[in-house]
Chain A
Amino acid sequence: MPASRLSRACLALLAVLACAARATAQTGEPRVEGTVRLRGSDAPLAGATVTVEGTALQARTDTTGRFVLLRVPPGPQVVAVRRLGYAVSRTAVTVPAAGAVTITVRMARSSLQLDQLVVTADRTGRATGELGTASVMDRDAIANQVASSLAGVLELVPGVPLQPPGLDAPGQFSLRALAQSGSVGVGGVSGPGAAEIGAAGTLIVLDGVPLSNNANLQTVGVRGEVVPQASAAGGGVDLRRIPATTLERVEVIRGIPSARWGDLTQGAIIVDTRAAAAAPEFAGRMDPRTGEGNLVGGRSLASARQALTVTGNLAETRNLRTLSSATTLRGAGQVAHRLQMGALRPLATGSGVPRLTADTRVDWWRLRFDSPERPDVEPGRNSFQDDWGVRLAERARVVLAGGVLEWTAAYDHQQQATRETRRMSRPTTPFTQRLDSGFALGTYVEGNYLGAYELLGAPRLLFSRLEWELTRFPGSGLGVAQLRVGGEARREWNAGEGYRFEISRPPQTSPFNGTVGFDRPRDFRDVPALATSALYADSRLSARRGVRFAEVQAGVRLEALHEGGGFAQGVRSAQLQPRLTGQAAPWPWLRLRAGYGVVSKAPAVSQLSPARQFYDLVNVNRFTPDPRERLSALTTYVRDVRNPALGLSRASKREAGLELDGGARWGALAVTWFDDRIRGAVTLRRDPDLLQRARYALADTGRGTGQPGRVVQPPLFFEPVPVFLDRFVNGGRLDTRGVEFTAQLPVIPALRTRVEVSGARLETGFATDDRDFGPTSRLNDFQVDTAIRRVAYFDRASTRSLRSIVTWRVVHHQPELGFVITATVQQRLGDERRVLSRSDSTAFAGYITRAGVLVPVPESRRLDPEFADLRRLRPSIAGGVNRLPDDWLASLQVAKSLPGGGRLNFYVFNALDRLISFSGSSVRARPSTRFGVELTIPTASWRRGG
């Protein structure tokens, strides 16, 4: 009996403790409790997962649909409820400092049946663990967005121009900067384009692991030809490799990211794919040019803690071209496996996690572009590109010292093959096949021939990060909410066979003036790797009093670019990057935010180790009617244009903002001002140099001999030839300031309609340290004509672009009929581009001599008589202002729910097919209309019979 008494005593004690705990819970701690029911029948829904966004708090509903979330941070919060086969429900609540807030959540089988359909980026979204300004797109918004890839989803970010869906061109994204249609070129005035801005530093993080395009060498160099299609070399990550249908959540950190994220200057895009135990879902899309099919599914393995997810995507876009047809084909897939081991360990937040969680992912993608030969149109012409990659990523989390120690490692293995053949037509040109410096008798390239080349690249990325993170509920008063320290290392290289072509038939279309030679084949395996490392620490402090709170996230990151592609060979360039962001909510409806931070971006492999530049100086060119008697001799000079001083570019970012949240009745408004200044962006600079051209006497050159004659050594004399080296430098300045806003107007219940408007006013300035030597023909004359003693050079023109983009989204919703009609109108206002340059006769900055020496001339001396020959109007670029009239385009989507939670979606991009707007000599061509159908079928619901 003692045992029995003891048992009863224990039970009684437990009961008392439980009651006490319950009493504490009910009266003391702030909490959210409620019920989850099925929309329509009000039946309780068991097994739904309830979370508070931005925290680790989580609960599951019981058989009566009830749940309780304890120790929820007071203030405005978003409670998210998820359950397989149902649309995600997000409910805004204001949690009291003490006591409970009770909610009832009704889940719909289809997101189209939700009363508050989410079709846009969350105006008050926060990237997980971040305080900087962000746009968050969750599954509902992504599903409602017509997109072939991540690029289309990002159109929900304020100020991003709308583009038709498809795989026509490499997907590039310019965050918080105004992209021009041109390219930077050699220090250029026309840029920067979206690719350059992307390359300047928008970080893409896919399932916790950064992607990179730094080792993409699929370009033939600064003096060669642009690879047509499919290559994002010189730009950011090609977003076509990430299908939109596989996305679960996208966070775009537009403002200052936490110290965890590096190698960026523009911002970070955090992408989570749909890896979980989920019933297979089929999605298809068809328009006149594109067909796409996607299957996502996952299932639990031996236990609920192990899940395997498989996604597959196949898409094809046909491009309409004048002279050829082209097809882009994409495949993508993913296998994800989650393993959880050990008992639940409590964290400081109160929630429990398994002792060990290991996520293993294997991603696969392939992009193939094919423009085959059309003999009836242009014999011989064709181009082809085939890129594919496999990425193995592992994330292991272990509970350690109340926090979580996470190790992330990834290996990204890519293969790239580009082949192009085109018809070349060039006048008879002396030519040498030398691959090193020296003298050689030449041959002739002449007439029409097929120029073919291939680029075989193999970018590799090895990434590892170790991080310890402590997250806890700070309670009332001042406390540490988050502490994070970590370090990461990254190595990128290219193991491809490189740039190959038949030397005797150069595929470059550049003309030959007797000095600058054609490029030579290059083996990418000789290119040194890029190695970077970083250490960071980050902490988040919180102060709360009732519903009022303030938070500060402070961190520092030390980023280093290593010498020689190894981590042990010293540091080539380093940046210390402090970052500070804060927010305060004096009232539940108002939130104020501000931040300052420094970020940096490493140069790409192609910029650190550019191809050697060849100069083939023609010494002899005896061109006779009889080909047997022709004689040429050339001296080849090879110049290494690597820049040992090339290092990290640096950006300082400032922002301030406010958010007003009046709920569905009053609407909401979020406004952010920002000022981003990038210094040391990688650009090209033309550095003058001097070569000596030898002149020879010829012997045995009689006509009719059938012999080419003979070059008599030694040379008669030498003459100087000025040449130019194209070198990458940290010479770019990209400044963007502006304001972004997102407003949700009050819902009109009678019309079941709401209006959201977002937009941005951007002003982007771009300048480089390069010099302007005028048009190519002018330089050719200077190089060839020894009578020209000197020519003037000018400072590079800079550009300043302004534009406002305002996007209106009108959402009409008929939950009973399962219809959602979304009309989108995007306005472009105040589009202006200023080219800042002087073009008067005293605009020259100096002159270059035949010895290749730059001689600057102070402005005070430019009117002196000795510079009279330099006082000419600027020969190339004239400054001026170019304004385009305000205009707009409209798109329409009609979505209809199908049995079993499926959806049928019609879309028409640029629905009115507005084409062109004119303003004087300026023309803006809008993307042409594009329309199609999307179909989504969750097969699990199908099996249930709807």
Chain B
Amino acid sequence: MMARHARWFCGAGPAATALAVLAALVACVSAVRAQDAPPGGWSRAHDSNGAATVAGPAWFAAWTPLRPSIDIARGLLRAPLGPGLLAGPSPRAGAFGVAGAPGALARDLRLGAPGDSTGWSELRLQRAGESGAFRRPLDVADATVTQGTGQGWAPVGRRGVAVGRFVVDREWHDAAGYAQRVAPYWSSPFIVTDSTTPPTQRTRVRLEGALGAELAGFGVGVAAGLESREHTSVNVPLRRSGRAATPGLVVGVERVLPWAGVRVGGFHTWSEANETTVLNAAPLPTILYQLRGYDEPFGFLVTESTPVFVRNDRRATVTGGTLEATVLGTRLVAVHERGRRAEDQYQNLVSRVRATERWRGGGSTTHLQASRPLGASARALLVGSRQVLTGTASRADLTGVAMDGQDELLALEGDLRASRGRWSAGVLGGVQRRRHDRFDYVVARRTALAVVTPFLGGELARSAGRAAVAVGASRAPRRATGGSPPLPPRDQPTYRRLVQPELAYEAAQSQAVAGWLSARVPVADQLLVVSARAERATPREQVTARLQPSGERTAWSVGVGWQRGGAR
């Protein structure tokens, strides 16, 4: 069994090869923009740009070394993914699964609950799309994506475990957002936009892996990842193109102490992402707007002779510690990390030597996780998280701090699953509270948004031998406090067009619902998993007076996965 997993999908036969061919030839991607995502990864998984999710079990996405550190996304409202009874193995508790601490990798993935396998792998091909008007100005309008994913873990030797994932995807946008960045709604207020929303094609390759081993009472590990993106406008008489490179590296160590299975560890994360965009407006001129907080953006006419080059460099370092113990049969994990983030934005080559706009942030993240089996056929897992972020922004044309902000994200989420006979069921639920405070000293405007999003999803599966079908649904109503920000004066039309609708979206009372269906079919010693999902987000009250987006946003996805290993 182990040897078979160790070879991953080697030796899987011609069908696996055919699937590999398909997965590589047809690119992939979930087009979903930045989302409301509890930090534990139980809902949607973050990636480096917050722009895409990775198919497969949601809990298996949180370990990525490419996750954005010291940053809190302002995402579109989404319903949670749900327990994913057929998507992959049951959640593994531990510091690696919840925070990507590589020192815990070998122990967490080797020592699962009874019935857990020592290895698992999956190849998945997925197609997804989303459309609708209930979105913000910088979000993509309509998008479809094809995504290929390979992921899994396997033992290496007697003491080690390797885990890895690749993602290849290609996205088509009928109309891009106004922003040139892939994912505009993160903490930094500096976003370059223009007056066009051209049809766009995006391509991405993402590689990440981790290797951990247990040596003489220590757990050591390293995780590394790299993501490259490229996008360009198509079939439009101007060129808006760009690319992004995101490397990430995490090293960690863990030590088992001689009391009650207590383990302490530490890890350090480095990431230095960059993103480059080029705007050539020929022959159609366009106007470039540099968003700098709540000030009215200045319009810069871009013509054939004045192309615009924008470069964003984002550096983040995080140092964290882990503590783990088992008390009364309950496994407890605590992770705390602190770090700093620095983002520099340059425009055009002449200013490459000096950043024009700067965002400096610092903050911390804390996870508390508890898990325990409930009898022989059930297990429960609870995660509480808190992220705190403060930051300051300085503009090239001014001296001193132009804007500052404090963000906080609190989340409590739980996963409960049980099986009896041919039936199994899972419930995933929790609540998230997100707060964004911003003060722009240039225009003396303050916003204080607080968004509370409870979420709940359930899934029911019935098996027949190794075959199974599952059906599930989830819902996430969002309730905002703090009120909608006041409308700016009429002499700020660009602010009204690009900034105000985003604030109004955040302040809207809205909800998202989703439903999905999965089926699992055994083929030889592997499993073929087919799934489909539909989702809809709408405001619960239509308020147009404050430029709040209206309508609805729908998303869908269909996928086929090829799995080996992983008892469920």
Contacts and interface: CB of A to CB of B under 8 A. Distances in A.
A818 B205 contact: no
A321 B278 CA distance: 11
B415 to A, nearest CB: 30
Contact of B232 (A284, A320, A908, A916): A320
A322 B239 contact: yes
B236 to A, nearest CB: 9
B81 interface: no
Nearest to A902: B17
A483 B232 CA distance: 60
Interface string A914-937: 011010000100001101110101
Interface stretch (B7-15, B96-104, B428-436, B477-485): B7-15
Contacts of A289: 230
A899 B232 contact: no
A908 B245 CA distance: 10
16 contacts: A321-B239, A378-B283, A814-B162, A817-B156, A894-B207, A898-B16, A899-B14, A911-B245, A913-B244, A913-B274, A918-B352, A923-B349, A933-B205, A935-B24, A937-B17, A942-B14
B17 A931 contact: no
A908 B228 contact: yes
Given A817-B7, A904-B20, A942-B14, 12 more contacts: A284-B25, A288-B203, A320-B232, A320-B241, A899-B9, A899-B10, A912-B245, A913-B228, A915-B311, A929-B243, A933-B205, A946-B10
Nearest to B281: A322
Contacts of B17: 898-900, 902, 937, 942, 946
Nearest to A909: B228
Interface in A601-627: none
Contacts of A286: 24-25, 27
A445 interface: no
Closest 8 CB pairs of A and B: A913-B245, A288-B203, A931-B228, A288-B230, A376-B237, A935-B24, A322-B280, A931-B205
A6 interface: no
Interface of A: 284, 286-289, 320-323, 374, 376-378, 814, 816-818, 892, 894, 896-900, 902, 904, 906, 908, 910-913, 915-916, 918, 923, 928-929, 931-933, 935, 937, 942-943, 945-946
B166 interface: yes
Interface in B328-384: 349, 352-353
Contacts of B243: 913, 928-929
Interface string B270-306: 0010101000101100000000000000000000100
Nearest to A821: B209
Contacts of B21: 935, 937
Interface string B14-41: 1011001100110100000000000000
Interface in B215-266: 226, 228, 230, 232, 237, 239, 241, 243-245, 247
Nearest to A925: B349
B207 A946 contact: no
Nearest to B170: A288
A153 to B, nearest CB: 22
B349 A929 contact: no
Nearest to B162: A817
Given A284-B25, A894-B207, A946 B11 contact: yes
Contacts of A918: 352-353
A816 B12 CA distance: 15
Interface string B183-210: 0000000000000000001010101010
Nearest to B284: A376
Contact of B226 (A902, A911, A928, A943): A911
B168 interface: yes
B6 interface: yes
A913 B154 CA distance: 31
B223 to A, nearest CB: 13
Contacts of B24: 284, 286, 904, 933, 935
Contact of B11 (A288, A899, A935): A899
Contact of A915 (B7, B13, B156, B276): B276
Nearest to B247: A912
A286 B148 CA distance: 13
A320 B201 CA distance: 12
B156 A933 contact: no
Contacts of A896: 8, 150
Contact of A899 (B13, B162, B352): B13
Contacts of B488: none
Nearest to A323: B282
A915 B307 CA distance: 17
Contacts of B282: 322-323, 377
A292 to B, nearest CB: 11
Contact of B239 (A320, A915, A916): A320
Given A817-B156, A911-B228, A913-B274, A906 B203 contact: no
A783 B336 CA distance: 80
A377 B207 CA distance: 38
Contacts of A284: 24-25
B283 A898 contact: no
A816 B352 contact: no
Nearest to B272: A912
Contacts of A933: 24, 168, 205
A393 to B, nearest CB: 34
A899 B232 CA distance: 35
Given A817-B7, A818-B7, A376 B283 contact: yes
A458 B230 CA distance: 39
Interface in B19-68: 20-21, 24-25, 27
Contacts of B7: 816-818
Given A817-B7, A818-B8, A915-B311, A946 B20 contact: no
Contact of B13 (A892, A911, A945): A945
Contacts of B8: 817-818, 896
Contacts of B209: 894
B299 to A, nearest CB: 22
A934 to B, nearest CB: 8
Contacts of A945: 13-14
Nearest to A928: B243
A810 to B, nearest CB: 12
A384 to B, nearest CB: 20
Nearest to A923: B349
Contact of A908 (B203, B226, B241): B226
A931 B156 contact: no
A523 B168 CA distance: 51
B226 A892 contact: yes
Contacts of A374: 237
A287 B203 CA distance: 8
Contacts of A323: 282, 304
B352 A916 contact: yes
Contact of B205 (A320, A898, A906, A916): A906
